[in-house]
Structure 1
Amino acid sequence: MRKLISALALSALSATGAFGQDANLAPPKPITLEETKTLMAHVVDDFIRPGYRTLSTSSSRLTNAMMELCSKPSDDTLAAARAAFEATAIDWARIEVVRVGPVIEENRFERILFYPDRKGTGLRQVQALLANPDESATSPVSLRDKSVAMQGLGALEFVLYGTGSEELLAKPDSFRCRYGLAVAGSVQRVATELSQIWDDPQGIQKDWKNPGPDSAVYRDQNEAVTGVLGILVHSAEALRDQRIESFYKGEDNNTFAKQALFWRSGLTFRMLTGNLMGVQALIDRSAIRDLLNDDQRSIVSSIDFVLKSLIRVSQNMEPNVEMAVSTEAERQKLDFLLLNTRDLILRLNDDLGGGLGLGAGFSFSDGD
């Protein structure tokens, strides 16, 4: 293992202790229904609802910026539209970690971001549309009936940064811009929908906050706690698999820079940072630490240490993915991200899962 990776990994071990549960720790305490309700209220009110509300606001600004670009194309309005796109993408990255509930119904998740797209389906569809304009794609309403790959942030990134993006400045109300405006409107529509669904006190939030026989989601407190842990583990797996291993699997493997999310806009590693911050915020705001015995709370501290290390490295990555995978120093950082995202998954699944009283042999992990 390279020196940088070894040094950072050893630093993490010395700061957080050896991996795994100490056999001398007291057994996990039973988690009461009231403690679970408090946890779920924090998850819903302090993380999920604010996250979708923020996304709804930023996507509204994106729609307005695209409208201004279409009506008054200029370097300034293009820069403003790209800045609004970046803000919306990052806001999505932070709440994207919630891969359960209304967001996975009616293809909402894919309507915001269709990724991974291993076969390039979305790119081909967007390129075909721009080459042979179809006016029905310039309305968010009719766009909804088309492929989800043509409706989300991936499609809009190509409009704003991809081949032919100079057409956005050629004349007002170009087809490319009007299509981009429709995509922005579609993202805003889904984001607002999600915010409204979660804000309804008699809707999904009621089921999440009140686990029990009357809940349509969680029949008891164990299911609810397991559900929250599942969000954390699955989001950690997704950020490793989809944000890193989609284009980089280690120093001895081939690299595929153009399979990285948002490589055109240079947002690949900012999206990774956003995902990591989302995991960190969910742990913090849910106060899941309070469900652990006093002598087990260092589990959360160790997870926080790993998250902070990952965030620090991801924030210092070269934005140009092609340069990142071909430069020795940047590849060392990528190796660090690979190593420690795997560690993060295990700490969440095994250590936190064990501390919460999930039985031996329980695993969310995909085993990679």
Structure 2
Amino acid sequence: MEFIDLKTQYHELKASINERIERVLDHGKYIMGPEVVELEVKLAEYAGVKHCISASSGTCTLLIAMMALGIGRGDEVITTPFTFISTGEMIALLGATPVFVDVDPNTCNIDPEKIESAITPRTKAIMPVSLYGQCADFDAINAIAQKHGLTVIEDAAQSFGATYKGRRSCALSGIGSTSFFPSKPLGAYGDGGALFTDDDDLAKSMREIRIHGQDRRYHHPRVGLNGRLDTLQAAVLLAKLERFDWEVEQRSRVAARYDQLISSACPAVVTPYILPQTSSVYAQYTLRVKARDDLSRELNALGVPTSVHYPTPLHLQPAFAHLGLKKGSFPAAELCSQEVLSLPMGPDITDEQQSFVVESLQKALQRVS
């Protein structure tokens, strides 16, 4: 079996995807074509915000968001050490400093109670990550940001489609940022991403930055970059949006069945904890287990693919060695990095496949105990 099954999804949507792609090939507007505009309108409506600005990747969207806020050398951005490198990487690329705050060990998301003590006069923004498909605790985070006059950027690369207290991910803060990498809940057939905001001025700035700082053809009031989403990827995403609501429901159903099966067969394993009044889109179904690496090898030998998101927190990555942070600086993030293990997950996984995964998990646990 595959860790993420994109082939079944394609076969279910093949006619619509092919039709959408052929339409682009017919009109030939491969850059900023009509599908890009259509997608932005539909994504803004879905998230419940005024503006959606599509972009070339979820990494690029983080960069554009911070550029629009004027973040640069000497500034600080508070974020989590337990995330993919792009979150901290884009902060550093602008010459700013990522200031890490430890995570809540239950959710693996940034711990709001630890944020305020990390704020300094140089802090310009807070960038929580909605990891594994579950939104961070945004009411608490936004209250801190408002108190200190900071903007919150949601790194929602894994959580598009999730909800927090009735509101959708990407509509929970000043700026929302998501990724359309193929394995994401809403994935393209290449790189892609989008930004979301209700702020007209920020939307204007982000649109200009995305196209070389251009407000009209060959007129550049600011320095920008080439961050456009290509029309073919927009076409694929429009086709996938047709069954996205169903896929979100299926992901919840699959996760609930995993919870039930694993709790019964493998009580020592910690299944994902979801905050009250919050729904996860389960970009990954991630367990907490002891002897994680041994267990992963046994599962792979039994035919169950696994993945670890993420084995080394950012403060221990060589790229951030200059920050002078040592092992033990963020104990919850470090513990998560040693224990998390993701199982095959997706809307098209069958009950039989899930049963096989859990039976294999039970066998693997017996072998490593």
What's the TM-score once normalised by structure 1's chain length?
0.30
Q: Which has the higher contact order (CA 8 A, sep 6+)?
A: 1
Greater per-residue helix proportion: 1
Bigger Cα Rg: 1
Q: TM-score, normalised by structure 2?
A: 0.30
